[in-house]
Amino acid sequence: MANTNSQPSFAEAMENQATINIGIIGHVAHGKSALVRSLTGINTIRFKQERERNITMKIGYANAKLYKCNNALCPRPKCFKAYSSHTTGTVICDRPTCGGQMQLVRHVSFVDCPGHDVLMQNMLNGAAVMDAAVLLVAANEACPQPQTAEHLAAVETMNLQHIVVVQNKCDLVSKDQAAMSFNQIKQFTNGTSAQESTVVPISAEMEVNVDAVVEQLCQQIPMPVRDYTSDPRMVVIRSFDINRPGDTLKLSGKGASGLKGGVAGGSITRGVLRVNDVVEIRPGLVTRDSNNHIRVRPLRTRVVSLGSESTQLKFAVPGGLIGVGTLLDPFLCRQDKLVGNVLGKPDSMPKVFIELTIHFTLLRRLLGIAGNDSVKETQYEQYMQDNFGDSSILTKVSKFKKHDVLQINVGACTGLATVVGVKDDLAKLKLERPVCADIGESIALSRKFNGSFRLIGWAKIVKGKALMLD
């Protein structure tokens, strides 16, 4: 391990932790979790209610190392393969008679997003840490399904430029049906960030042609440019209490033991985080005083451990999903209480805002809602309605009005906001809960439709009203 006072090498970091986050997006039941399982060996459907319904409800995470055989005669895509994140040492190509050695190309954290329409908020929280995405489309259903369109729009809102398209469940359709599905996918992705992507046909459940997906991830998604020199900053997308029922705090002459502090999970966006670093979490504790005024008290603590899955680290770099062990009261972290906070070095953190002025862009049509009637204005919209009976792209998004209530996603923070002023493409929002954000940061905008919030556009923060911190 390198000296913790020096900057880590990229190769050293990639060996020990994931260095890129790739989202798995698409409509419900199109096989996202099955693809993650075939790539990583990990089932991201972990919670009781998820297992009962066999769908992802919370964001799932799993890591894998992607390798390529160094034998130039090893044919593609068989020369690419995904292995467990715990794989170390020399790996020999398992293709008979090859004899080549596998070389590590990527160490990836996969972010498995819920596909159900009412779980769009969870998907947007996951999008906050994505560097690229895999759009999964089932060949046995017409394309696009409502959340196929909504998820693609969401990742484009977050400025993701690298999207791999995967046609799943090809084992369930005939050759002609697969070809028709392929043409629908190409027509749907035309004009989007995914239009140049190769459509990879697979069966995730049968693990057929998954190596072709690995090839696309290695060759079509470049490593993002990372900032290792700035003060560390991490977006918190999970937090939890790792103590078991019955654990108690034990005091002795050597100090306290027994209970462990809370854990914050997320992705580092810049800088290098090290064990023993003192960090601040903003907004932190949010309360209201006797006059109903919002009070904000950031949390300060020390990093006592860093982990990537079960691998313990001395330092963590941008990219990948990291667990940060702290000295915080575990009650403050249990059940994702810190989700939406930002963790970083004290005195280098963004301000905490209670009002935001945004420069917004609205979608022309509402996505993710099936079965609505509207006027068809273009040949493509007519094609979608005639062929798929789905008018999800046809419901117009109306302009903001004063007193409109929106749902905004700022990083991994989701909250309600009231429009208190609108002028041209600028809007002033009063937030229900404070957010820690940078000026210029991108945010997602949603509005309630038929009982659930739907993505309607995106914006950049122009300025804001900051709160005084306790």
Per-residue pLDDT tens over the stretch 29-47 = 899 999 999 999 998 766 5
Mean pLDDT of the chain: 87
Contact assessment for residue 369 and residue 393, using Cβ atoms and an 8 Å cutoff: no
Question: Average pLDDT, stretch 415-419?
Answer: 96
Between CA 458 and CA 361 the distance in angstroms is 6
Top pLDDT among 206 and 455 is at 206
Would you tell me the crossing angle of helices 210-220 and 32-40 to the nearest 10 degrees?
80
pLDDT at 122 over 80: no
Q: What pLDDT shows up at residue 3?
A: 46
Q: Is 448 strand, coil or helix?
A: strand
Q: What pLDDT shows up at residue 369?
A: 59
Q: What pLDDT shows up at residue 119?
A: 64
Contact assessment for residue 318 and residue 228, using Cβ atoms and an 8 Å cutoff: yes
Q: Cα dihedral sign for 303, 124, 128, 421?
A: negative
pLDDT at 385 over 60: no
Most confident of 108-122, 126-140, 372-386: 126-140
Helix (H) or strand (E) holding 320: none
Contact assessment for residue 275 and residue 304, using Cβ atoms and an 8 Å cutoff: yes
Conformation bin of residue 440: beta by default, left when phi > 0, alpha when psi is -120 to 50: left
Give the amino acid at 245: P
pLDDT, tens digit, 9 for 90 and up, residues 73-91:
999 999 999 999 999 888 9
- Residue tagged 């995106």 (tokens): 458
pLDDT, tens digit, 9 for 90 and up, residues 287-304:
998 888 899 999 999 999
Top pLDDT among 386 and 99 is at 99
pLDDT at 332 over 50: yes
Q: What pLDDT shows up at residue 389?
A: 45
Q: What pLDDT shows up at residue 392?
A: 46
Q: What pLDDT shows up at residue 375?
A: 31
Q: Pairing relation of β-strands 199-201 and 163-168?
A: parallel
Contact assessment for residue 126 and residue 111, using Cβ atoms and an 8 Å cutoff: yes
Q: How many CB atoms lie within 10 A of CB 451?
A: 6
Q: What pLDDT shows up at residue 377?
A: 35
Question: Average pLDDT, stretch 111-125?
Answer: 74
342: tokens are 């930002």
Question: Average pLDDT, stretch 305-318?
Answer: 92
Give the amino acid at 28: V
Contact assessment for residue 199 and residue 167, using Cβ atoms and an 8 Å cutoff: yes
- Residue 389: closest CA among 367, 406, 408, 373: 373
CA 331 and chain centroid, separation: 25
pLDDT, tens digit, 9 for 90 and up, residues 214-238:
999 999 999 999 999 999 999 999 9
Q: What pLDDT shows up at residue 247?
A: 79
The Cα diameter of the chain in Å comes to 78
Top pLDDT among 286 and 376 is at 286
pLDDT-based confidence at 276, cuts 50/70/90? very high
Question: Average pLDDT, stretch 146-167?
Answer: 89
Q: Cα dihedral sign for 423, 424, 426, 428?
A: positive
6: tokens are 């020096």
Contact assessment for residue 239 and residue 263, using Cβ atoms and an 8 Å cutoff: yes
pLDDT, tens digit, 9 for 90 and up, residues 54-68:
655 677 889 999 999
165: tokens are 């398209």
Between CA 30 and CA 261 the distance in angstroms is 38
pLDDT-based confidence at 450, cuts 50/70/90? confident
Burial (CB < 10 A; 0-12, 13-18, 19+), residue 126, is: buried
Contacts of 412 (CB under 8 A, 6+ apart): 125, 128, 129, 235, 236, 237, 266, 339, 340
8: tokens are 């880590």
